């Protein structure tokens, strides 16, 4: 088994109490950082609204208000990221996007509803952050101080001091130490759940404001589907134009030349010149064979019959057999296993386009194709070569077209190609 095939299993699990403390530490850190973010959001709200509304009569207020909404959206994006890192994802919303310029762009920003909700979150975030900051600090500090009370109690002044035990009717140093220590221990033991409740409070506020409404989520989904559909249509149109150009420049020209050669051979035979006719017929046969080879090459850009008849495993094996570079296959699909037609087609094109790019540009001596269906049903396709690297989706239409084609099935294309270290193309198809 090679290094690429070495299975990676789950690492050793931390004890439950250790995981609880780690999570409490992360959530406490989140809550402590909320206060500076809350102060920044309050400043953005107060200064932006005051200046924007005050200068609105001079039209200078429009860019100020638009900038205030943009800053609020930026703070909202930071909060979405922080909550997602803690395991409290916020529903996706429709981002601000417009092609307008100048004053019309400012007006478009003012008409973006989610930006106003982000600004509302910046206003409400400060008092909530102040509350959760105080509760978090008090809970941990008082709890730790109570547990360590036996250490620092002796340094307290004796004169006129009323201890907790005195207030509860249990005078005496021993009762005071015992009660304070028990109270501190209770605070520390309950701190993880109190902290989690404070985070849940922030999460609820974020879901109401930063999460937008169901209509905005639907608009975001419609916008994404529209974008992916346009990407697929564009990719298909580019493929058709490429095939049409290649047929016109290659097989069509050869077939025209073959027709002319056969006509010339026919005339030579009529003129009793069999040697010249034989040469022309031989050239025509050569053109016919070259045309067949070019048509076979072009057919690789179209879903082959083997993909429809025998599935993805057989189709990738056929494409690897026609590659100019030796291909090592690791296909985690059973023989004859079928997937949805759109998924099979997308995965097949990722493999064939990557093999063609490797043969043309990479200078590689070997390619490895790995196909696996993960536990969650996601199809993962990886093509790695040992070439010169330096590939990037922005440098050519091939990788860009693959990304657009994958977008039609909600897939994602990743390209890792450092200079001198080979190229690794990874496609995930849900």
Burial (CB < 10 A; 0-12, 13-18, 19+), residue 290, is middle
In this predicted structure, what is the pLDDT of residue 390? 76
- CA-based torsion, 294, 298, 304, 305: positive or negative: negative
Predicted confidence (pLDDT) per residue in 386-406, tens digit: 888 777 665 554 666 677 777
The pLDDT of residue 330: 86
Q: Where are the beta strands (DSSP E) in 199-275?
A: none
Report the candidate in 296, 86, 283 with the shortest Cα–Cα distance to residue 198: 86
Give CA–CA dist 77/170, Å, rounded.
53
Q: d(Cα 176, Cα 182) in Å, to the nearest integer?
A: 10
Residue ranges, the chain, pLDDT below 50: 1-12, 214, 397
Mean pLDDT, all residues of the chain: 77
Read off the pLDDT of residues 215-266 as tens digits, 9 standing for 90 and up: 555 665 666 666 666 666 555 656 656 665 666 566 666 666 666 767 777 6
pTM, two decimals, is 0.51
Alpha-carbon span 117 to 73, nearest angstrom = 9
Looking at residue 31, its pLDDT comes to 93
Order of strands across the sheet that contains 367-373: 327-331, 367-373, 379-385, 423-429, 412-416
Classified as helix, coil or strand, 238 is helix
Separation of alpha carbons 425 and 383, rounded Å: 5
Give me the CATH topology for the region 306-429: Heat Shock Protein 90 (3.30.565)
Q: Tell how far CA 414 is from the center of its chain.
A: 9
CA distance 180 to 142: 10
Residue 241: per-residue pLDDT? 60
Domain boundaries, the chain: 16-209, 234-299, 306-429
Residue whose token pair is 């109490």:
17
Intra-chain end-to-end CA distance of the chain, in Å: 28
């Amino acid at each position: 088994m090679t290094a690429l095939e070495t299975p990676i299993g789950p690492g050793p699990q931390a004890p439950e109490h250790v995981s609880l403390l780690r999570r409490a530490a992360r959530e406490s850190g989140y809550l402590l950082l909320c206060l500076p973010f809350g102060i920044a959001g309050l400043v953005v709200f107060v200064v932006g609204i005051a200046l924007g509304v005050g200068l609105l009569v001079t039209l200078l207020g429009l860019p100020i208000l638009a900038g205030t909404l943009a800053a609020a959206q930026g703070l909202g994006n930071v909060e979405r990221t922080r909550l997602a890192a803690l395991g409290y994802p916020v529903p996706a919303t429709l981002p601000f996007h417009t092609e307008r310029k100048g004053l019309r762009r400012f007006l478009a920003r003012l008409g973006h509803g989610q930006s106003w909700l982000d600004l509302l979150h910046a206003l409400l975030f400060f008092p909530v952050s102040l509350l959760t900051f105080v509760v978090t600090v008090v809970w941990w500090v008082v709890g730790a101080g109570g547990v360590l009370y036996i250490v620092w109690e002796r340094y307290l002044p004796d004169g006129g001091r009323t201890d907790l035990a005195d207030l509860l009717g249990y005078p005496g140093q021993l009762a005071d130490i015992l009660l304070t220590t028990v109270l501190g221990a209770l605070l520390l033991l309950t701190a993880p759940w109190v902290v989690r409740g404070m985070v849940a409070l922030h999460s609820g506020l974020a879901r109401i404001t930063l999460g937008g409404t169901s209509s905005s989520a639907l608009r975001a989904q419609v916008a994404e589907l529209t974008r992916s559909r346009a990407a697929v249509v564009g990719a298909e149109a580019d493929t058709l134009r490429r095939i049409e150009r290649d047929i016109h420049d290659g097989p069509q020209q050869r077939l025209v030349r073959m027709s002319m050669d056969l006509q010339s051979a026919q005339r030579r035979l009529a003129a009793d010149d069999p040697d010249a006719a034989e040469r022309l017929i031989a050239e025509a046969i050569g053109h016919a064979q070259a045309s067949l080879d070019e048509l076979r090459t072009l057919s690789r850009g179209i879903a082959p019959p083997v993909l429809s008849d025998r599935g993805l495993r057989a189709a990738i094996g056929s494409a690897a057999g026609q590659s100019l570079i030796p291909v090592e296959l690791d296909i985690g699909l059973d023989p004859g296993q079928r997937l949805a037609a759109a998924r099979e087609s997308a995965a097949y094109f990722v493999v064939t386009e990557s093999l063609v790019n490797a043969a043309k540009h990479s200078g590689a001596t070997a390619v490895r194709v790995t196909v696996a269906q993960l536990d969650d049903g996601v199809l993962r396709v990886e093509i790695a070569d040992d070439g010169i690297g330096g590939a990037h989706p922005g440098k050519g239409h091939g990788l860009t077209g693959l990304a657009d084609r994958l977008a039609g099935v909600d897939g994602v294309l990743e390209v890792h190609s450092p200079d001198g270290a080979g190229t690794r193309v990874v496609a995930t198809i849900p």
